[in-house]
Amino acid sequence: MATSKNDLLTYASSFRMSKGSEQARKGNPMFIKELKLKNYRNYDVMTIPFDDKINVIIGENAQGKTNLMEAIYVLAFTKSHRTSKDKELIQWDQEYATIEGIIEKRKQTFPLHIQLSTKGKKAKLNHLEQRRLSDYIGALNVVMFAPEDLTLVKGSPQVRRRFIDMEIGQIQPIYIYHLGQYLKILKQRNHLLKQLQRNKTNDQALLEVMTEQLIEHAAIIVEKRFRFLKLLRTLAIPIHKGISRGLETLYIRYQATIDVEEEDDRTKIAQVYQEAFKKHLQKEIERGTTLLGPHRDDLVFFVNEKDVQTYGSQGQQRTTALSIKLAEIDLIYNEVGDYPVLLLDDVLSELDDYRQSHLLDTIEGKVQTFVSTTSVDGIHHHTLNKAEIFTVDKGKIKHAKRG
């Protein structure tokens, strides 16, 4: 039975239980009981219930498998992992699209609702519209593993920054607030630097104020990234060692644009930023852009002390990406007390049999999982024999088999 609006504050508190909370650690598995889509991508109207263990979505390319996975991702994060333009999620001849989910978490059921329109987006938690997205994000935790995630290691720094930002945002929604403020001030500061570069202003006092504001949020962001990376590394290293049969050792390092260490607190990080910005002031004005900050930081992955991006084989790069994704699952559980929903979007076919088996063995019975694929014929694992099977054709989903 759905909960009343008066219970919202109780839920909001329980969603963000601290790591040490025994009540959180004994929480029941979280899962999506039902998903509703309207005017979303190639889905006109769809309502479908899901199994709380594993759901396999089968269909040819361009039929709607990835759109369904994306909809679940948007329900969790309020934004797509494929595009930054919300209008692309709305059917071309419609004014809005909606995604609704019935979530069960710690034996309590509640609805989530996202409406996307040309006027913006609305996010509702338990029927109540949330003024800030950071008050909504974290109600549903999701880990997605798609083919593009295999480029986490060899892709651009932007890919890795997006990864770390989205994952921290799930377990500490306040991080989204600080990141949003940082990016807003960064845009204003870059505009001012352009004006200084072109001699259209000489307002150094305003630049100093903006720099102080930028540093305030930058220090918090970097401190939280350091903490997240430390937790992720602790979980990913043994997973990676297991997948590599004990032959390889993984290490992940945060590469900042300033000289800071993982042990530094935000006060020390802020001090280093202040000194660095003073040193680079003239260079920033000459270039008309901000040269320091978390928007330019990166992650570096090492296997047996060698940079995987530069020297690693494709197999090592994929093992690293898989280890990180599996570590995310336990990290979220350790931090919020609930296992996330796992989305495997057309990724099993990209992994060899050994990595497939390791992935499916790890998640079996632990998390609600959605697997999209063109066929299960080449995937041999007993987990899939228990799965609910759905077929997708031209934006229509049918329940094909009960596991």
DSSP secondary structure string for all residues of 358-391: HHHHHHTTTS-EEEEES-STT---HHHHTSEEEE
> Residue 113 is encoded by which pair of tokens?
């609702």
Q: Closest Cα to residue 352, out of 379, 325, 384, 312?
A: 379
Give start and end residues of each alpha helix (H) in 46-173.
65-77, 157-171
- Are the beta carbons of 257 and 273 closer than 8 angstroms? no
Centroid of chain to Cα 365? 22
Residue 233 host element (H or E): helix 204-243
Q: Which residues are annotated as a binding site for ATP?
A: 59-66
Q: Distance from first CA to last CA of the chain, Å, rounded?
A: 26
Residues 6+ apart with CB under 8 A from 212: none
Binding site, by residue number, is 59-66
Listed in order, strand segments (DSSP E) in 179-249 are none
Count H helices and E strands in the chain, helices first: 12, 15
CA-based radius of gyration for the chain: 22
Nearest alpha-carbon partner for 263 in 321, 223, 209, 294: 223
Cα–Cα distance measured from residue 294 to residue 258, given in angstroms and rounded to the nearest whole number:
9
Alpha-carbon torsion (181, 20, 144, 234), positive or negative = positive
Contact (Cβ atoms closer than 8 angstroms) between residue 103 and residue 76: no
Asked if 151 contacts 112 with a C-beta cutoff of 8 angstroms, the reply is no
99 forms beta bridges with: 37, 114
Question: At what angle are helices 65-77 and 157-171 packed, to 10 degrees?
Answer: 60
